[in-house]
Structure 1
Amino acid sequence: MFSRSPLISQNRPGLFRQILRKSCARARFLATATTSSHVTRPYTFHIGASWAGKPEDPSAKRKVPFPEDTLIGGWRDKMLAWPKAVQSKNAGEDFFFIQEMRNGSGVSFGVADGVGGWVDSGVDPSLFSQALMFHAHRYSRNAWAGEPEIDPTMDYEEREQIEGWEMTPYECLDLAYGGVLREKFVQAGSSTACIISLNASSGVLRSANLGDSGFSIIRGTSIIHRQKAQTHFFNCPKQLTKLPANAGRKFARACVDSPSEADVFEMKLRDGDIVVSYTDGFSDNVFPEEMLRICRLLSRSGGTEEEQVQAMADRMVDYSRKCMYNKTRISPFERDAARQGMFFRGGKPDDVTIVTALVRETS
């Protein structure tokens, strides 16, 4: 099994559906109440994103990223062009995606954290997380967030081809994992993942989470939902895995978890709700009540909704970076280690990625 550093070193999906080809995702996204088809929807979602990779280990083996002229490499660079205040060259072993769904029916987004235990085997953990998020974006852009708005005058085959199909976050995770397994450039690796969809017609949030990435929903002065982490044991999260070709006894103990093991969740959101998705670089270093205070403070700071949610994401990434290098402050990771009879002091240096969403009900 592969576990998180620094404490402990260490079904194939069945859904494959044909999708229609479209252009790559935009670097920024705002789901508006009026879509390109002039359908007015009652919910609008304002999205913010920020990230910071931890300093690279100079003794680690040289990483070989996706080339810029490949589909994944080009898409990766567009996502990293998202305007944010936090200064960071890249997302490290984390990655994310944000994608408007078919016909403006909603938005899908997610975060993934490549598991670092593969580094000793010469595998770049960032390739798996980037590929997983790329394929999640690819499937999301042609799928509906809810039931497709079918033209009843068309026959069945025409509706299937033109109108598309509904996709849940679980199905998105399953399909994206299949895409990674087929990626020749990703020879091996593993990653946690949290994928969320927001329906612009119903206001319903749906999610699928595998591992110790996660999300929280803030309503007013309270956190009304906080996703529970999935682990095999302390510091070893559940993870989607691709084993190297002709894997031998060396990888006999590697975790090979299935998308079917993901926790799924569904909830109807209200005007003013805030959704915060994050990798464990955030949740291991920042307590839930601190996240709540940051979001409440910035929601009252003025500015547009876009400015508020982006400021939330930036502030949470910046604060988590300060906490992870503070050895005099008790961290959530330190407390969890103590519960397992282990000693760890202060914050845990790690990559951190945040995607935030503010819900507005327009009618």
Structure 2
Amino acid sequence: MRISHQFSTLNPALQREIIRRSASKNVVSPRRAKITRNFSTSALLPKQYSFHIGTSWAGKVDRDGYNRFKIPFSAHTTIGSWRDQMLSRPKAVKSVDAGEDFFFVQEMRNGSGVAFGVADGVGGWVESGVDPSLFSQALMYHAHRYSRSAWAGEPEVDPTLDYEEREQIEGWEMTPYECLGLSYDGVLREKAVQAGSSTACIITLNAANGLLRSANLGDSGFSIIRSSSVFHRQRTQTHFFNCPKQLTKLPANSGRKFSRACVDSPNDADTFQTKLRDGDIVVAYTDGFSDNVFSNEMTTICRLVARSGGTEDEIAQAMADRMVEYSLQCMRSKTRVSPFERDAARQGMFFRGGKEDDVTVVVGLIKETS
């Protein structure tokens, strides 16, 4: 097959999606079509892990004049309807709006795993009359959309099936790295998002083998807590202090220069993978949490909540709520030393207390089922 020069310049993940969709349009024989119907949605292999997810968030108090730049997606649009559905998830923190942050949680194809992530819209776009929340919401919407149709690992195939039947298992494996690239391309195509930037962290958990995979760009991130200590903490990516790497969409034909805008690529994202264990806790967060809460405080919150009892779902949700509540307390204090204050001091800058910001936390509690 001859590949055009224009196709070869596309994002590799987008190339893969185009090829997949093109292949799905091919005409198949009645027998092959019957095989697809029989095997595409059946759970062919047992799941070894279950994942219990909790989400919580709080938008910061609007700055003076900020509301005049708030032009959200209408609730009647696809993204607006999905956004409202995500924000309707039950939580204890008394905040409806996620501010410039957003998140997604999505079961992957055939129950093969779960995908979730967080994004933090860059607030500096307000000065250019742009609502920063549109970019992060659209990015997470497209991450949800692609994750819904993809497998957390290789499509699960019953080894007793013949080769032709195996070929008809629907869906494809998608890594967080590929998901980030596809989602970014989706934002670039969104006409309602004229401009903006966002950090992003996307994670998938494989229900068959407990494999965690991640892609992180910027200063959002995640930690894995194992046996009441931090097993892994994802490093942040910055150009310089308080300027994270970020995905960006510049206004089309605006005639203006945006010299201060950072335009990074999904290819710059850090990737990571590890096999999880029973009882592990995965915490994804925006910098509203990591700038205000130290790692040892995060582990203490998880330990205390776990002792309080409840179902796994209740424990995961309580952990997310307590983390957001504690970060709100910390960011409003000017007498307590914060991680952000320490980082500023290392750069020779003075900053006192917590840093007010939007905060979003997604907690995943891992359980082995057999």
The alignment's TM-score, normalised by the length of structure 1, stands at 0.89
Equivalent in 158, 179, 186 of residue 172 of structure 1: 179
**Could you tell me which residue of structure 2 aligns to residue 289 of structure 1?**
296
**Could you tell me which residue of structure 2 aligns to residue 15 of structure 1?**
13
Matches within 5 A, 1:1-363: 13-16=11-14, 17=17, 37=43, 39-60=45-66, 61-150=68-157, 152-153=161-162, 155=164, 159=167, 162-248=169-255, 250-363=257-370
Instruction: Report which of the two has the higher share of helix.
Output: 2
> Which amino acid letter does the alignment assign opposite residue 55 of structure 2?
A
> Which amino acid letter does the alignment assign opposite residue 120 of structure 1?
E
Closer/same/farther in 2, CA of residues 210 and 155 from structure 1, 3 Å limit: same
Unaligned runs of 5+ in 2: 1-8, 22-40
> Which amino acid letter does the alignment assign opposite residue 72 of structure 1?
I
Give the conservation status (yes or no) of the 8 Å contact 2:215–2:272: yes
SS of residue in 2 equivalent to 1:15:
helix
SS of residue in 2 equivalent to 1:147:
coil
**Could you tell me which residue of structure 1 aligns to residue 3 of structure 2?**
none
> Which amino acid letter does the alignment assign opposite residue 135 of structure 2?
F
How far is 1:62 from its partner? 3.2
SS of residue in 1 equivalent to 2:43:
coil
- Larger-Rg structure: 2
Identity of aligned residues (%): 72
Give the conservation status (yes or no) of the 8 Å contact 2:45–2:156: no
SS of residue in 1 equivalent to 2:69:
coil
* CA-to-aligned-CA distance 1:48-101 (integer Å, 9 cap, x gap): 000000011132233110000111000000000000000102100000000000
SS of residue in 2 equivalent to 1:251:
coil
How far is 1:248 from its partner? 4.5
**CA separation in 1, counterparts of 2:163 and 2:128?**
54
**CA separation in 1, counterparts of 2:221 and 2:81?**
27
Give the conservation status (yes or no) of the 8 Å contact 1:223–1:292: yes
How far is 1:327 from its partner? 0.5
Matched residue pairs, number?
A: 337
**CA separation in 1, counterparts of 2:297 and 2:42?**
39
Give the conservation status (yes or no) of the 8 Å contact 2:291–2:354: yes
**CA separation in 2, counterparts of 1:107 and 1:118?**
32
Unaligned runs of 5+ in 1: 1-10, 21-34
SS of residue in 1 equivalent to 2:329:
helix
**CA separation in 1, counterparts of 2:170 and 2:361?**
32
SS of residue in 2 equivalent to 1:141:
helix
* CA-to-aligned-CA distance 1:169-221 (integer Å, 9 cap, x gap): 00000000000000000000000000000000010000000000000000012
Give the conservation status (yes or no) of the 8 Å contact 1:216–1:275: yes
Give the conservation status (yes or no) of the 8 Å contact 2:45–2:157: no
Aligned structure 1 segments of 4 or more residues deviating by more than 4 angstroms: none
How far is 1:362 from its partner? 1.1
> Which amino acid letter does the alignment assign opposite residue 115 of structure 1?
V
SS of residue in 2 equivalent to 1:298:
helix
Closer/same/farther in 2, CA of residues 189 and 168 from structure 1, 3 Å limit: same
**CA separation in 1, counterparts of 2:255 and 2:298?**
43
> Which amino acid letter does the alignment assign opposite residue 15 of structure 1?
A
The alignment's TM-score, normalised by the length of structure 2, stands at 0.88
> Which amino acid letter does the alignment assign opposite residue 366 of structure 2?
V
Give the conservation status (yes or no) of the 8 Å contact 1:209–1:263: yes
Give the conservation status (yes or no) of the 8 Å contact 2:152–2:174: yes
How far is 1:38 from its partner? 7.1
How far is 1:12 from its partner? 7.1
